[in-house]
């Protein structure tokens, strides 16, 4: 299944002519996109709107503006588009992702965009049993909560409470929740401690928190956590813990054929020479009439700017004038998580023959959460582990061979000793990535959402804010990136 080629002409009829056209092959490889005009030569000196950041959010914003007839310059620091969305091609040509990958129901915006770009989805493999490894033993189970008698009641009640509490958190204004102050004064960890009998229940929750935030329960406020659960839905179907954490019908329901980076690559192909890579933004200055964005390749002056970058990178820009203190403080308090994605590749997804899904949870070790990450044709078998938060700290700084061994042991605990003999081993640690500085997403500790959260989408003069962190649904996911890109473009078009 190959994506339908799209042309810039057909989708961007309103856009002024000119610029490189990136279609066809540009959509299917995992190679960085560097358009002919994009990486070399001078930047345009002026535009109606300059967009900072070539992840999905910035690309969507740029496309909306271009479609509306505005001249747009998109500036991306890296030599590729996609931000935290990045394909990786295996030896046999199969594609997996080093960054954002999964999609699921109610993620309408990313799914519609993918469909439009001809990027198909396929269901994450869920046939067979999941495995729960705890106290040195393993048990098979189906569904979300492992049927460990010592924790199942605790976990079930915890889930009911989380859903009930998150239903009281308005996604666009979590700081107005009735108990916002109390919930923002306590960590998710402490709330779980107070509301469960068995500490193992809180430990189990890490299998959700570490992949989702790259953090443990002490790093996020209860209010932020509940808001994030509330976000895992859309305008007609409120978020639930089941959807936020689940595989089938949940946030890990499906993946993209050819890898998720086909989406930003497809957008960039449409945008052509609007996209300028290797143009890190160092300074943003505004006056009454213009905003000037200065990169290592020179300045661009526009009427408006949209900044679609992770909070820590936004804070590192030299702002003139300074951002308002409340926003500056918000950015000081939104920290990116620490997360590696680790994939072990096998000749086949051998676990399927044993009636295993490849999904598993462990209460300790290097692999706390794993998924079947095989390509849709199962041409190879791939197991994926998210290594986040305290598990990342335990393993990320050890020698590769030692970590690799621990990961394979962890996979073997879930699917058996065949996991010890991979044909390939791939890891991507986003904390080493200069233009992200962590992953998968920025989260908020205690006190931040109530005190500084209201600033999250407030424009600063001529500067508007995109990026998945600014979304009201599926913040932290690709869907949130699309939503935020559209919303920011609408703001600019209305202004």
Return the number of the residue (383 or 444) whose C-beta is nearest a copy of itself: 444
Note whether 179 binds a copy of itself by CB under 8 A. Answer: no
Distance CA 112, CA 104 (A): 12
Note whether 363 binds a copy of itself by CB under 8 A. Answer: no
Shortest separation between residue 435's beta carbon and a copy of itself, angstroms:
10
Look at the alpha carbons of 25, 28, 31, 32 in this order and tell me if their dihedral is positive or negative: positive
Return the number of the residue (138 or 328) whose C-beta is nearest a copy of itself: 328
Among 168, 390, 405, 418, binds a copy of itself (CB under 8 A): 390
Return the number of the residue (137 or 434) whose C-beta is nearest a copy of itself: 434
Distance CA 440, CA 468 (A): 10
| Chain residues 188-217 in contact with a copy of itself, contact rule CB under 8 A | 189-190, 193, 215-217
Among 5, 44, 118, 185, binds a copy of itself (CB under 8 A): 185
Shortest separation between residue 165's beta carbon and a copy of itself, angstroms:
16
Going by their DSSP bridges, the two strands 291-295 and 298-307 should be labelled as antiparallel
Distance CA 417, CA 57 (A): 41
Return the number of the residue (392 or 474) whose C-beta is nearest a copy of itself: 392
Sheet with 129-134, side-by-side order of all strands: 137-141, 129-134, 356-362, 369-372, 381-388, 339-346, 424-429
Note whether 369 binds a copy of itself by CB under 8 A. Answer: no
Shortest separation between residue 316's beta carbon and a copy of itself, angstroms:
4
Among 7, 150, 332, 348, binds a copy of itself (CB under 8 A): 332
Among 14, 41, 199, 325, binds a copy of itself (CB under 8 A): 325
Note whether 297 binds a copy of itself by CB under 8 A. Answer: no
Among 129, 148, 184, 469, binds a copy of itself (CB under 8 A): 184
Distance CA 287, CA 321 (A): 9
DSSP 3-state of 374: coil
Note whether 342 binds a copy of itself by CB under 8 A. Answer: no
Return the number of the residue (445 or 480) whose C-beta is nearest a copy of itself: 445
Note whether 333 binds a copy of itself by CB under 8 A. Answer: yes
Among 127, 322, 420, 423, binds a copy of itself (CB under 8 A): 322
Q: Report angle CA 138, 144, 145 to the nearest 5 degrees.
A: 60
Among 195, 198, 329, 405, binds a copy of itself (CB under 8 A): 329
Distance CA 296, CA 442 (A): 26
Q: Which helix (H) or strand (E) holds 222?
A: helix 222-230
Note whether 379 binds a copy of itself by CB under 8 A. Answer: no
| Chain residues 217-236 in contact with a copy of itself, contact rule CB under 8 A | 217-219, 221
Return the number of the residue (252 or 338) whose C-beta is nearest a copy of itself: 338
- Phi first, then psi, for residue 345 (nearest 5°) are -110, 135
Residue whose pair of structure tokens reads 């590749």 in the numeric block: 345
Closest to 110 in 3D by CA, of 210, 225, 253, 12: 253
Among 37, 396, 412, 426, binds a copy of itself (CB under 8 A): 396
Note whether 437 binds a copy of itself by CB under 8 A. Answer: yes
Instruction: State both tokens at 422.
Output: 């991979």
* Number of chain positions touching a copy of itself (CB under 8 A): 45
Distance CA 205, CA 199 (A): 10
The three-state DSSP-derived secondary structure of 165-210 is HHCCCCCCCHHHCCCHHHHHCCEHHHHHHHHCCCHHHHHHHHHHHH
DSSP 3-state of 94: coil
Note whether 109 binds a copy of itself by CB under 8 A. Answer: no
What residue ranges bind a copy of itself (CB under 8 A)?
184-187, 189-190, 193, 215-219, 221, 282, 312, 315-318, 322, 325-326, 328-329, 332-333, 335-336, 338, 390, 393, 396-397, 429, 431-432, 434, 437-438, 445-448, 450-451
């Amino acid at each position: 299944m190959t994506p339908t080629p799209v042309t810039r002409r057909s989708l961007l009829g309103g856009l002024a002519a000119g610029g490189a056209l990136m279609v066809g092959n540009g959509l299917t490889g995992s190679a960085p996109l560097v358009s002919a005009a994009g990486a070399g030569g001078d930047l345009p000196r002026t535009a109606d709107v300059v967009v900072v950041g070539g992840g999905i959010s910035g690309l969507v914003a740029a496309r909306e503006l271009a479609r509306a007839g505005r001249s747009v310059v998109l500036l991306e620091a890296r030599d590729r588009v996609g931000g935290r969305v990045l394909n990786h091609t295996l030896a046999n040509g199969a594609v997996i992702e080093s960054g954002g990958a999964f999609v699921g129901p109610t993620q309408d915006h990313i799914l519609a965009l993918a469909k439009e770009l001809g990027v198909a989805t396929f269901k994450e493999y869920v046939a067979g049993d999941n495995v729960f490894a705890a106290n040195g033993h393993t048990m098979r189970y189906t569904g979300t909560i492992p049927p460990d008698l010592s924790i199942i009641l605790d976990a079930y009640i915890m889930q009911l409470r989380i859903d009930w509490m998150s239903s009281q958190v308005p996604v666009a204004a979590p700081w107005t929740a009735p108990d916002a102050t109390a919930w923002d004064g306590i960590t998710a960890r402490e709330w779980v401690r107070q509301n469960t009998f068995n500490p193992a229940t809180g430990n189990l929750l890490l299998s959700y928190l570490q992949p989702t935030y790259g953090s443990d329960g002490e790093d996020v406020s209860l209010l932020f956590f509940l808001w994030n659960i509330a976000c895992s839905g859309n305008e007609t179907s409120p978020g639930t813990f089941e959807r936020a954490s689940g595989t089938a019908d949940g946030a890990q329901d499906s993946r993209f054929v050819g890898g998720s980076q086909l989406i930003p690559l497809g957008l960039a192909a449409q945008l052509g020479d609007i996209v300028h890579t290797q143009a890190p933004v160092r300074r943003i200055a505004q006056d009454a009439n213009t905003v000037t964005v200065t990169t290592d390749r020179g300045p661009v002056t526009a009427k408006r700017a949209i900044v679609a970058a992770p909070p820590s990178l936004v804070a590192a820009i030299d702002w003139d004038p300074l951002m308002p203190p409340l926003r500056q403080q918000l950015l000081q308090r939104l920290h990116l998580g620490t997360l590696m994605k680790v994939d072990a590749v096998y000749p086949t997804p051998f676990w399927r023959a044993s009636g295993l899904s490849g999904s598993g949870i462990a209460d300790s070790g290097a692999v706390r959460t794993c998924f079947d990450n095989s390509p849709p044709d199962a041409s190879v078998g791939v197991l994926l582990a998210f290594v986040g938060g305290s598990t990342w700290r335990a393993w990320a700084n050890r020698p590769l061979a030692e970590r690799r061994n621990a990961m394979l042991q962890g996979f073997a605990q879930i699917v058996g000793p065949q996991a010890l003999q991979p044909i390939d081993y791939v890891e991507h640690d986003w904390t080493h990535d200069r233009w992200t500085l962590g992953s998968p997403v920025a989260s908020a500790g205690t006190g931040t959402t109530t005190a500084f959260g209201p600033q999250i989408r407030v424009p600063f003069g001529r500067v508007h804010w995109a990026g998945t962190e600014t979304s009201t649904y599926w913040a932290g996911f690709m869907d949130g990136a699309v939503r935020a890109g559209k919303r920011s473009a609408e703001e600019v078009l209305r202004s």
